[in-house]
Structure 1
Amino acid sequence: MFRLNSYFKLALYILLLVLFSGTLFLLIYASSWYAIIAALGVFFVAYFIINLFNRIPRKFSFFLNAVENQDSTLFFPENIRHKPTKEMNKSLNRVNRLIQEVKLRNREQEQYYSLLLEQVSTGILVVNNRGSILLVNRAAKELLKYPYLSHIEQLRRVDANLYQAFNRLQEEGRREFVKIAHSSGSTQLSIHSTKFVNLANTLRVYSIQDISNELDAKEVESWQKLIRVLTHEIMNSITPITSLSETILKYYVTSHKPDKTTLGINSNKEEDKIFNGVEMDSAESFKLNTVDEKTIANTIKGLKVIYERGTGLIHFIESYRKLTRLSKPIFKSVVLKDMIEHLLVLMEYEPYFHRISFSVEVNPVNICIEVDEAQLSQVFINLIKNAMQAVEHTSSPKIDITAKHTDTGYLEVSVVDNGPGIPLEIMDHIFIPFFTTKDNGSGIGLSLSRQIMRNHGGSIEVVSSSGNTQFTLKFIQ
């Protein structure tokens, strides 16, 4: 900031200081009273030098204090003669204008984002670590049916389950689904939270979405798919049972329908009965057939088929019960690698196990997860068994199980096989309950696995091509 004029002043002050100091020394040595005048001269020259050096820091300090106090009226005079000071004042005024422009732009951006938040259909809440709600948009108030929100505790008044869901999200950060009841019905909400640190404050942003319509559409679609599968499975069992029952019945009896007019029966008052698939009139008579060894043998064969079909139908119903009565997970800490290796030991007696090359890679090796061990073990068993069956006819079969943390905050566990892959036309159906391409398959393994993963707050995904099929379990950490 110093230019020629400032340097000249500084040099002059230093020269005067040296002269006065030398004079003071000589006068003191000569014991002259002029030493007092020389001492005063030294003092004033030193004061001017200090003041010259402090002038600029004082001005900067004044400027920074004004900025800190958000004083936008600050202005330094620019119509002064001292050129260095004039240039410095211009620079400070320019910086002050830039700061005001930045503040104005920030204020405009705040208004823009505030308007944007008010227009979106997703509810947004920003909560600090004390539970105070710092920001809530219109959509959140409408979804929660509560117009005045200032603290997370107020959600108790909306719905106890909703409050508990928000508390779980504060601790774990998972996605929660909760159904809240209100005067006009009920709403299914999906709530997700993200944590971030703003200066010294830890804030959590909650996004709330009404997924009722999506769930209704998905529910209808799921019911349609399930009904098609149920109809297919039940008809596959009932049709041969009905057909065989009718055939066996005809082995033993022959029906005879006499003329109804001779019996005085009015045709519009007939009462028909159905017996094992054979329609019989109330006036119908029967004639017993002769039973021989061939008839008995055919009957036994037919009854065996009926028994097998009936047993298969019972197993199908038991599978359905297993799928619909999945218990709530009991979470505990589990060492992932130990659990996987233990399951592989248990599966050593499976067919083709020893001709398959298995590899387990967990990074880091001491990964622990909070899961229901029994339920997650069932998921791994389903995936590993499917992989083993997929590589049954592969020349060099191998199954790789890997686990790692991702940059997006997930723990991903993958089961990869080098089998022929899943055909594209059935890829969309493999998670549908009871859908199976195996002769002895129940069709609930993958569907049950997906349900277990959802109950754990995670997901299951599949990518498949010829020679590579990968099922990935994703856990939020």
Structure 2
Amino acid sequence: MKKNKLNHNDAWEKAYLQQSHDAAIGRLYRGLVHNMNGDIQAITMQSELISMMFVKADELLARIVQDLKEGGESLELLELREMLKRRASLHETMGGSVRSIQNIMRRTASFQDFEAGTDSASYTLNSIITDEVDFLKADSFFKHKVHKQFSLNETLPPLKQFQLEVHQIICALLENAVDAMRSIEGPHELFVESTLQNGKAEVLIRDNGPGISPENMERIFEPFFTTKENASGLGLYMANTLAHECNSVIHCESKPGCTQFKLSMPVF
């Protein structure tokens, strides 16, 4: 009976992790599409402004020609020159939006061959952090109300394994921090740090939410345990399970007004 129960638990866990894998892929794409839509909207607005400028420029040129025929001074020439300067500024903004879309498309291509537990193209923890923060900007609370501070070590070595798992872990830890801060009035402070310590890459995520009580600290990685309304209680459980699969460890420290999770993983 005990063996059957263990087999049942293993099967449930595998099914849940597979579902989490599929959900993670979907979430990554949704985040990318959201960001791309923002850039496309910016380009659309800027192109409309440029079209209006061309109409205005044509009108000004017609007036300039008339002024020159009459031998008078042309104030329209100065106005046209100023408008062309604004047009050049819009062109640079549009170029930035196009480059952003190109970057999104490159990231989308890198997700096509994601398979849990397999080797992948080299990546860095910093790129994972940056991607996950970008994806979370689809959340209005996170985008507009959370003050974000980063201290990312640019010398971290590239990694080759567990890219999807690391995405899921960082996502779960970030979402947990953001959810914790929803219950306080503000300010909402999020601090993310990446470091290299004793041959291990580490990511620290700290929030200024209400904190975790001592009696709950021992249960935070249990499945279905949660103190939040409308929460599944599976986010930290999944993150901890995946961390073990990656030969990594998650540590948590908390006190009133401050909670931090630290992911420590070997440099594969």
Give the TM-score taking structure 2 as reference length: 0.55
Partner Cα distance (2:248, 2:12) in 1: 26
Counterpart among 249, 254, 257 of residue 467 in structure 1: 257
Structure 1 residues 427 and 337: alpha-carbon distance in aligned structure 2, compared to 1, 3 A threshold: same
Q: Is the 1:319–1:442 contact (alpha carbons within 8 Å) kept by the matching residues of 2?
A: no
Q: What is the Cα deviation at residue 328 of structure 1?
A: 5.0
Partner Cα distance (2:128, 2:201) in 1: 15
The higher relative CO (CA closer than 8 Å, separation ≥ 6) is in 2
Counterpart among 384, 389, 403 of residue 194 in structure 2: 403
**Percent of counterpart pairs with the same letter?**
26
Task: Report what 1:35 is aligned to.
Answer: none
Q: After superposition, give the CA deviation of every residue in 1:403-430 in whole Å (9 maximum; x if it has no partner).
A: 1111x32221111111111111111111
Task: Report what 1:204 is aligned to.
Answer: none
> AA paired with 2:130?
E
Q: What is the Cα deviation at residue 319 of structure 1?
A: 8.1
The answer to whether residue 174 in structure 2 is matched with residue 384 in structure 1 is yes
Partner Cα distance (2:185, 2:171) in 1: 20
Q: What is the Cα deviation at residue 346 of structure 1?
A: 1.1
Greater CA drift, 319-328 or 435-444: 319-328
Structure 1 residues 441 and 414: alpha-carbon distance in aligned structure 2, compared to 1, 3 A threshold: same
The answer to whether residue 19 in structure 2 is matched with residue 322 in structure 1 is no
The answer to whether residue 150 in structure 2 is matched with residue 456 in structure 1 is no
> AA paired with 1:321?
A
Q: After superposition, give the CA deviation of every residue in 1:49-82 in whole Å (9 maximum; x if it has no partner).
A: xxxxxxxxxxxxxxxxxxxxxxxxxxxxxxxxxx
Structure 1 residues 455 and 364: alpha-carbon distance in aligned structure 2, compared to 1, 3 A threshold: same
Partner Cα distance (1:337, 1:320) in 2: 28
Counterpart among 139, 157, 161 of residue 350 in structure 1: 139
Partner Cα distance (1:321, 1:434) in 2: 15
Q: After superposition, give the CA deviation of every residue in 1:250-309 in whole Å (9 maximum; x if it has no partner).
A: xxxxxxxxxxxxxxxxxxxxxxxxxxxxxxxxxxxxxxxxxxxxxxxxxxxxxxxxxxxx
Counterpart among 123, 135, 138 of residue 334 in structure 1: 123
Aligned-residue Cα RMSD (Å) equals 3.0
Partner Cα distance (1:338, 1:442) in 2: 28
Structure 1 residues 394 and 342: alpha-carbon distance in aligned structure 2, compared to 1, 3 A threshold: same
Task: Report what 2:83 is aligned to.
Answer: none
Specify which structure has the higher proportion of helix: 2
Q: What is the Cα deviation at residue 374 of structure 1?
A: 1.7
User: Which consecutive unaligned segments of at least 5 residues does structure 1 have?
Assistant: 1-218, 228-316
Q: Is the 1:420–1:467 contact (alpha carbons within 8 Å) kept by the matching residues of 2?
A: yes
Q: What is the Cα deviation at residue 318 of structure 1?
A: 8.1
* Residue correspondence of structure 1 range 66-465 to structure 2 within 5 A: 321-323=15-17, 329-332=117-120, 333-353=122-142, 354-365=144-155, 367-392=157-182, 393-406=184-197, 408-465=198-255
Greater CA drift, 430-439 or 418-427: 430-439
The count of aligned residue pairs is: 166
Partner Cα distance (1:425, 1:441) in 2: 19
Task: Report what 2:108 is aligned to.
Answer: none
Partner Cα distance (1:319, 1:409) in 2: 31
Task: Report what 1:254 is aligned to.
Answer: none
Q: Is the 1:337–1:365 contact (alpha carbons within 8 Å) kept by the matching residues of 2?
A: no
Q: What is the Cα deviation at residue 389 of structure 1?
A: 1.0
List structure 1 segments (4+ residues) > 6 angstroms apart after TM superposition. 317-320, 324-327
Partner Cα distance (2:152, 2:175) in 1: 20
Larger CA Rg, structure 1 vs 2? 1
Q: In structure 2, the residue corresponding to 1:433 is in which secondary structure? A: coil
> AA paired with 1:372?
F
Q: What is the Cα deviation at residue 455 of structure 1?
A: 1.2
Structure 1 residues 465 and 331: alpha-carbon distance in aligned structure 2, compared to 1, 3 A threshold: farther
Partner Cα distance (1:378, 1:366) in 2: 20
Q: What is the Cα deviation at residue 335 of structure 1?
A: 2.1
